[in-house]
Structure 1
């Protein structure tokens, strides 16, 4: 696969936070339609650029920042971007947009009973040891179950065994009625962002995380959980091992700060 240059540039045509992942004319091997699609502005808070790292998408540690990320405008913009790039370009060109889209949905998943973001709920889970289980109400919490079901580790992730064991445990000990009913992505103002149903989310997430990305213009991929042997807490252990999915994650963030990276 030919490497593609992705430039993070400010966008002026949309909101103050809009940005572009690609500088027009950079890739001479793509069609004009593809070049235009890849260079389109994404109308989201620039925090979503961090989602390009993949792996575990944890709490942003700020409800105000999460609200700024989880807007209907951002949801629609990301869906349009991925759909257009997938239609006008080779399949691999949509990978960056799909990764951001996956991270957006993991970040914006909410518990409909409390209105809290699922990441914040999971971050408050009980610390457990290597051979210990989470308390039943946490293990079977809709947010935790939904994220486990939607997350598909890459073949190189360090958390594959842990993920399989957690899924098996959840399916064994939790009733099916708790798995999907009260976890769903929403916009920051409680508005559904169009096609954000949990069933579609699971299907699209599997596509995005398998590294065989094909666009689902109405799906809502959600990526999650990474952890393995010593689980200091569900979210902290997940974060530690999720970093193993992308080699050189820290290097990637350094490059992003220079507004340049290579896919």
Structure 2
């Protein structure tokens, strides 16, 4: 009887071992399940730009491109990247934009300067072309058309123009040094030209000096298109020309 009990106990013990072994094998056979990767952090949303800010950005970009083209004498060409097109694009967005209006005036003045330089080298055909381009930039601006007409007339009749009865001589030494005194005198004369809305004739020793005088006077009356012409001669002076 004891022997039989021992055998049964032995069998139960072996059965338990077999069951445990089977369970262990099943556990080992199970694939290892790794935890899912963490969700990526959401990208920060780009700040929304209001329509007004988008328009201001576009205007600023166009003005920058226009100024750059103007500095490089890309006035009416090449297509789509010239000063005229950029300034006109600004005016389509904002019709009273002062910087774009002044940019167009600067194109006119540059063509007038190029026309004078060409005429002084007897390149009259080129001078005429530059005058035509100057007139085309602001065709409805009476002051621009008057400047073009006067320069065309001076080129057609290159006679020595007598000194006007209404003229102011410039300090030659101060002018040569481009001193503060010279700038102050030119600013005063520019203010007079604006108040009377009359054209000036700049008589200077050289074309470069004449351009500097004109630029200095123009900067003294911002927003006003100073109508002027340049003549090489002496003494250096500013002549105030009566209307035709």
TM-score by length of 2: 0.32
- Name the structure where helix makes up a greater proportion of residues: 2
Decide which structure has the larger Cα Rg and report it: 2
The answer to which structure, 1 or 2, has the higher relative contact order (CA under 8 A, 6+ apart) is: 1
